[in-house]
Amino acid sequence: MERTTLTGAQLLWEALTREGVDVVFGYPGGAILPAYDALPQYAIRHVLVRHEQGAAHMADGYARASGNVGVAIATSGPGATNLVTGIATAMMDSSPIVCITGQVPSTLIGTDAFQEADIEGVTLPITKHNYLVTRTEDIVPTLREAFYIARSGRPGPVLVDITKDAQQKSISLEWPDTPVRLPGYRPDLSACPEEIDRAVELLNAAERPLILAGHGVVLSGASRSLQELVEKTEIPVALTLLGLGGFPATHPLSLGMMGMHGEAWVNFAILEADLLIALGMRFDDRVTGNLKTYARYARKIHVDIDPSEIGKLVPVDVGIVGDVDAVLRKLLTRVTPRRRSEWLAHVSELKGKASVRDIQRLPDDGHLYAAHVINDLWHHTQGKALMVTDVGQHQMWEAQYYKHDRPRQLVTSGGLGTMGFALPAAIGAKLARPDDEVWVVVGDGGFQMTAAELSTCAQEDLKVNVAVINNGYLGMVRQWQEFFYERRYTATPMRNPDFVKLADAHGLAGRRVHARSEVESAVEWARDTPGTVVIDFKVEQEDSVYPMVPGGADLGAMIRRPSPIVESADD
Ligand SMILES: Cc1ncc(C[n+]2csc(CCOP(=O)(O)OP(=O)(O)O)c2C)c(N)n1
C-alpha cells in the first residue's frame, strides 16, 4: 500500500482518476471551490455546463453511450438541487452516474447556512445510494463505493455530498488496494438452476413465443447471445424503447417497438403469444396498457438483474434473477433448435395488414412530415448515427423510423420522459464516442428547455447535429388534447425564437428546411459543416403519432392513423 498526503480536494480527483474518469461535467460555486482549485493538477477534462441539469444529463449521456460511469459535479444548495431532474432521469433508466456536490462546512450543517440544502435527503428516493461526507478520511472509501454501486448489479445514480472543510483538510492515508466489499449489498448474478430448467421446458414447448427485449439487454451486453438464441429457436423479438438497438432492427426476426406507440403488429403478437420471454425489461405501463387484459394467453418468463422487478406488475411463471447475457448463454446450450414457419407467417400477415397505414405511404404533398424527416435522416446517415432524442412526438417517430441496428445507438429518456434531455445528453455521448456522428432529434419545446447548452458545444468545440422537429406546438400534449380533450389546445401552441438566429448567436451554423426535397441536402450540409449545427425542420403542425394505445387502455385498443392511402377492408 502506498502512503499519500493530500487535501480532500486532491483525494477526490485522485480517486476519480483511479476510477478511470477522464471527463466530468460541472459548474462551480463556493462549497465546491476547493475541489475546483485542485482540478488543474489532474488530467481530467472539465466541461463547463450552462445549468447543472445539463451536467447530470451529460454524465448520463456519457454513461449510456460508453457503458462507463458518467460524472457530474456541482456546488451546494441551488447547484445541487438543479441536478435533481437529471438524477431522477438516470434512476428511472438505470444509468450509472456519480454526482459530486459541495456542501456547506460541517460546522454549519443544519443552521440554514448560505446555500445549504439537504441534498442527501432530497435525492434519497431518486438515487441508488447517496452519501454525506463530513470527514476527509471518508472521501476515498466513499467514492470507491459510489463507483462500485453505480456500475454493479442494476446500474444507477449515486450522489456524494462533501462538506467544504472535508475538501480543505490534508490527511495522510494509505490508498486502499482491495476490491470494494459492502456487507449489505451483493448483487447476485447467478441465476437459479431450477428456474433455468423450467425456462428451457417452456421455451421448448411453446408454439407462439415472443421475446420482449429491454434496456437490460443493452446494459448487460447481451446482443450477441440474444441473436444466437433467436436464430436457433426462430423466436421473434419485440423491443421496448430503451431496448432499441439491443437487437438489430433490420434483422428479419425483429418486429420493432411494443407499447403505447409501438407497431400495431407487435402489440397484436404480444396479445396472441403463448409464451413471453421478457429480458431486462420491467413491464412499464407504457408497454403493457391495461394489466388485466395484458397477454392473457401467454406463460411468462422474466429475466432481470433486479429481484424486485420480478412479479412487480405482471405475475410470471418463471422468474430468473441474473445478468441477461449470462442467463441467455445458459439457455442457449439447453434449448432445442426450432423452425416456426406458422407463427412467423401469422406475424408477417399481421404486419402486412397494419403497415398499409404507415405514414411512409403518404405522398410528398408539399407538407414536411416529421416521420419523413427521420426516415430520410436514417437513410442519409446509412443508419449509423448515434441518435439522441428528447421527449415527445419526435421521440416516438425517431423510435419508429430510424432503424437502430447496434446497442447504445439510441440515447433517450424513457422512464422519466424528461424534456430537455437530448442536447446535454448528446454532448455527453459525443465526448464518450468522439468518432461517432451524433444527431440530436428534439422538439421545439424541449429544445428550449436546455438550448443554453449550445454555448457549451461552442466553448468545447464539439460537433453535434441538432435536428429541431419544429411543429409550433408542444406536440405530444397537443395530440392528447386532440384525442381526449376535444381539441382544446390550452397552453400548447408555442411561439418560438428563430432557431437559425439562435445558432448564429452562439457562433454556430443554422439552416431551415420547409420541404422534403430539402432534407437530403440539409443532412449533407450538417455533416460537412464543422462544429455544432442546428437545422430547423418546419414540419406539419398537427400531425399525430400512430398507433396510440390510450393510457390504461387494452393493448389491442389502438387508435390508428385515420386516412391511409390504401386500406384493406379488414385492417
Ligand atoms: C420536463 C417536462 N415537462 C413536461 C413534460 C410533459 N410533456 C411530454 S411531451 C411534451 C411536449 C413536447 O413538445 P416538443 O418538445 O415540442 O416535442 P413534440 O412532442 O412536439 O415532438 C410535454 C410538455 C415532460 N415530458 N417533461
**What whole-number distance in Å separates Cα of residue 463 and Cα of residue 458?**
9
Percent with pLDDT over 70 in the chain: 97
Res 432 pLDDT > 80? yes
Structural element, H or E, at residue 301: strand 299-304
Question: pLDDT of 478-528, one tens digit each?
Answer: 999 999 999 999 999 999 999 999 999 999 999 999 999 999 999 999 999
Closest atom of ligand 1 to 391 CA is 9
Contact 474, 421 (CB under 8 A): no
What pLDDT sits at residue 553? 96
Q: Is 391 touching ligand 1 by the criterion CB < 6 Å?
A: yes
What pLDDT sits at residue 33? 98
Ligand 1 centroid to residue 473 C-alpha, Å: 9
Collapsed DSSP state (helix, strand, coil) of residue 402:
coil
Residue 39 to residues 12, 18, 472, Cα–Cα distance (Å): 9, 14, 43
What pLDDT sits at residue 3? 73
What pLDDT sits at residue 569? 41
**398: how many CB neighbours lie within 10 A of its CB?**
29
For residue 274, is it left (φ>0), alpha (ψ between -120 and 50) or beta? alpha
Q: Is 445 touching ligand 1 by the criterion CB < 6 Å?
A: yes
Contact 43, 82 (CB under 8 A): no
**What whole-number distance in Å separates Cα of residue 341 and Cα of residue 428?**
44
Percent with pLDDT over 90 in the chain: 92
Q: Dihedral sign for Cα 243, 248, 253, 259, please.
A: positive
What pLDDT sits at residue 564? 52
Predicted confidence band of residue 566 (pLDDT cuts 50, 70, 90): very low
Copy the grid coordinates of residue 238.
419485440
Question: pLDDT of 118-129, one tens digit each?
Answer: 999 999 999 999
Catalytic residue among 91, 92, 260, 476: 476
- Which residues are CB-contacts of 84 (< 8 A; sequence separation ≥ 6)? 122, 123, 126
**What whole-number distance in Å separates Cα of residue 427 and Cα of residue 462?**
8
Strand order in the sheet with 533-538: 410-412, 386-389, 438-443, 465-470, 533-538, 509-513
Res 52 pLDDT > 80? yes
Average pLDDT over every residue of 74-86: 98
Average pLDDT over every residue of 238-246: 98
Residue nearest to atom 8 of ligand 1 (CA): 392
Q: Dihedral sign for Cα 151, 152, 153, 156, please.
A: negative
Predicted confidence band of residue 561 (pLDDT cuts 50, 70, 90): confident
* Phi (first) and psi of residue 128, to 5 degrees: -70, -35
Question: Would you call 283 a catalytic residue per the annotation?
Answer: no
Q: Which residue has the higher pLDDT, 1 or 153?
A: 153
Res 61 pLDDT > 50? yes
What pLDDT sits at residue 293? 95
Residues in the chain: 571
Instruction: Cite the beta strand spans of 69-190 per DSSP E.
Output: 70-74, 97-103, 129-133, 158-163, 170-174
Predicted confidence band of residue 188 (pLDDT cuts 50, 70, 90): confident
What DSSP assignment string belongs to 410-462?
EEE--SS--TT-HHHHHHHHHHH-TTS-EEEEEEHHHHHHHGGGHHHHHHHT-
Q: Is 394 touching ligand 1 by the criterion CB < 6 Å?
A: yes
For residue 77, is it left (φ>0), alpha (ψ between -120 and 50) or beta? left
Res 568 pLDDT > 70? no
List the helix and strand counts (H, then E) for the chain.
Answer: 23, 20
Question: pLDDT of 191-239, one tens digit each?
Answer: 889 999 999 999 999 999 999 999 999 999 999 999 999 999 999 999 9
**What whole-number distance in Å separates Cα of residue 379 and Cα of residue 319?**
40
Q: What's the pTM?
A: 0.97
What pLDDT sits at residue 1? 56
Mutation test of ligand 1: which of 476, 479, 492 has the most ligand atoms closer than 8 Å to its C-beta? 476
**What whole-number distance in Å separates Cα of residue 90 and Cα of residue 425?**
11
Question: pLDDT of 254-268, one tens digit each?
Answer: 999 999 999 999 999
The greatest distance separating any two alpha carbons of the chain, rounded to the nearest whole angstrom, comes to 79
What pLDDT sits at residue 464? 98
Question: pLDDT of 292-305, one tens digit each?
Answer: 999 999 999 999 99
Ligand 1 centroid to residue 455 C-alpha, Å: 22
Average pLDDT over every residue of 67-95: 98
Average pLDDT over every residue of 453-466: 98
What pLDDT sits at residue 370? 95
Ligand 1 centroid to residue 550 C-alpha, Å: 17
The angle, 0 to 180 degrees and rounded to 10, between the axes of the packed helices 84-92 and 52-66 is 30
Average pLDDT over every residue of 30-51: 98
Q: Is 70 touching ligand 1 by the criterion CB < 6 Å?
A: no
Ligand 1 centroid to residue 469 C-alpha, Å: 12
Average pLDDT over every residue of 389-405: 97
Structural element, H or E, at residue 536: strand 533-538
Catalytic residue among 10, 91, 92, 164: 164
Q: Which residue has the higher pLDDT, 360 or 427?
A: 427
Predicted confidence band of residue 563 (pLDDT cuts 50, 70, 90): low
Alpha helices (H) in 44-163, listed in sequence order: 52-66, 78-81, 84-92, 119-123, 139-151
